[in-house]
Chain A
């Protein structure tokens, strides 16, 4: 897929108590997250793209083809998209097999994915003869994903597909979602208000705030933008990409190498050379003026302060440069002033990191 393929969209609509006014460009590759609080307009945006919602003004160009413009709107059934809703929405009068064949029988191109491949990818082999009423929530959502993928879409829309599931079911489906873009080479637009899912799955990020686009760009750079209030909450995080450099077998630790240095993570996380994605919460990063002599924190990195959040709350976010990566740290305003931290200062960061995407999906990294 060439890099200039993209979705260009502009939507404006007003409903009672809610207005959406967005113009954005979304790459037709990888996973693009759409993040925002509930009521920010994420679902409405997705429904506009799918043709389920009529906007007052709408424009949608997919890979150079106009799907919607002034006085023109392709009907929902003629837009080659796969839509995975929050709820499975399986057809109760059809078996699982008939459900997943519903879109496949109506596909407009034949170069799409094969039924068997999707059935295998989503582990549906034993469910095909069942009725939707007999499925668990996680199984039903997997069937819904398979059904959507099989209509040979140009791209996939996912509207919080995990939101209605408990943690165990989420853990069951997340690996499928991780593998999907790479194995089927389908671009995905993934709506979520869960920053953990965003960090795990997405390469690109749109942030919506009150019906407007607050930010868009590569995941790593948007996450560390201190001027986006929607991202500055308790969950503020940064994501870095690294590779496994080695192990400490005795203490069961994995050493990760990235452009800014090396980090130790608990557990044996793969084999040497595997690509990993790490999520680092702002609250798991602390700053020292000097290298601490003895600490229970394994990871100490020299970082340069790049920016300090401009607020008067009890805590502030600080953006840090380390190698080519950027981190955010949440520290109290008192510490900031006592240590006299300024942009440009070199300090030592203590870091706890967690791997969010394992080596089995390392090929998915761009």
Chain B
């Protein structure tokens, strides 16, 4: 069994997860506290990947990231290589595709941070930034755990967007879901079965671990 695609998937999921936790922090904080009338608009944009078919997402990303697209052409000029059908392109696409799975739990966690706690921290000498890192962030760890697990698992199981934007280049864009599709296409059911079972068990145990930890957290 060729584990290359699995390894590529894990790399993609890890990079995507880390980037999304960074992106979700300011975005989730803003969504949790803002009174701006733009809030529902931004919320809807963030949630789009949940409802859109991956092919629609993938198509627009292909257009955007392609050598003639707004982002793709700029990237081509900057680095000399195209974004589409590359690992970097896959990371960008994955970040957009999994964004709601990072923002939603982080935002909910920030929403449950009490303003009264932050006020108390300010009167105890903490600046806004200090209070964020010493009060809000530690009180939101559960949200971050959920966001990490969901984005990792979701990216690992990604298929449509990857196919549209990344294609099927071994070692560069052939992730596990694409590999399984290939094996089925070439009627190689045994290999497809092995990979599928691996993914299924992995997804199950990751989710199980998350729910068990969540439950423990609630009781302490």
* Interface, chain A (partner B; CB < 8 A): 50-52, 75-79, 81-83, 85, 87, 89, 91-93, 102-103, 106-108, 147-148, 151
Determine the interface band of chain B, counting residues with CB < 8 A from chain A: 10 to 19
Does B119 count as interface, using CB distance less than 8 angstroms? yes
B122 touches A148 (CB 8 A): no
| Complex-state Cα separation, A85 to B121, whole angstroms | 12
Inter-chain CA distance A77–B132, complex, in Å, is: 13
A83 to B, closest residue via Cβ: B123
Question: How far apart sit A106 and B139, CA to CA, in the bound complex (Å)?
Answer: 20
CA separation between A234 and B127, bound complex, in Å? 45
Instruction: Give complex CA distance A147, B117 in Å.
Output: 13
Closest to B138 in A: A93
Q: When the two chains form their complex, are residues B116 and A89 in contact, meaning their CB atoms are under 8 A apart?
A: yes
- B117: chain A residues at CB < 8 Å are 89, 91
Interface flag for B207 (CB, 8 Å): no
- Is the Cβ of B123 less than 8 Å from the Cβ of A50? yes
Which of these, B123, B125, B138, contacts A107 with CB under 8 Å?
B125
Candidate in A52, A77, A81, A151 with the most chain B CB atoms within 10 angstroms: A77
Interface string of B122-140 (1 = CB under 8 A from A): 1111111010001100110
- Asked if B120 CB lies within 8 Å of chain A CBs, one says yes
Which one of A51, A83, A106, A107 contacts B120 once the chains associate, using CB atoms below 8 Å?
A83
Mark each residue of chain B from 168 to 206: 1 if its CB lies under 8 Å from any CB of chain A, else 0. 000000000000000000000000000000000000000
Q: Which residues of A contact B128 (CB under 8 A)?
A: 77
Binding site for A on B (CB under 8 A): 114, 116-117, 119-128, 130, 134-135, 138-139
Contact B123 A81, beta carbon cutoff 8 Å: yes
Residue of A nearest to B134 (CB): A102
- Supply 12 further A-B pairs (C-beta < 8 A) apart from A76-B123, A77-B123: A50-B123, A52-B122, A77-B124, A77-B127, A77-B128, A78-B125, A89-B119, A91-B121, A91-B135, A91-B139, A93-B138, A151-B124
- Could you tell me the distance in whole angstroms from the C-beta of A49 to the nearest C-beta in chain B? 11
Tell which of A77, A91, A92, A93 touches B122, judged by Cβ atoms closer than 8 Å.
A77
- A108 surroundings in chain B (CB, below 8 A): 125
Measured between C-beta atoms, what is the minimum distance from B124 to chain A in Å? 3
Structural contact, A103 and B124, CB atoms closer than 8 A = yes
Q: Judge whether A148 and B123 touch: CB under 8 Å.
A: yes
Residue pair B123, A52 in contact (C-beta under 8 Å)? yes
- The reply to whether B125 and A85 contact each other, CB–CB distance below 8 Å, is no
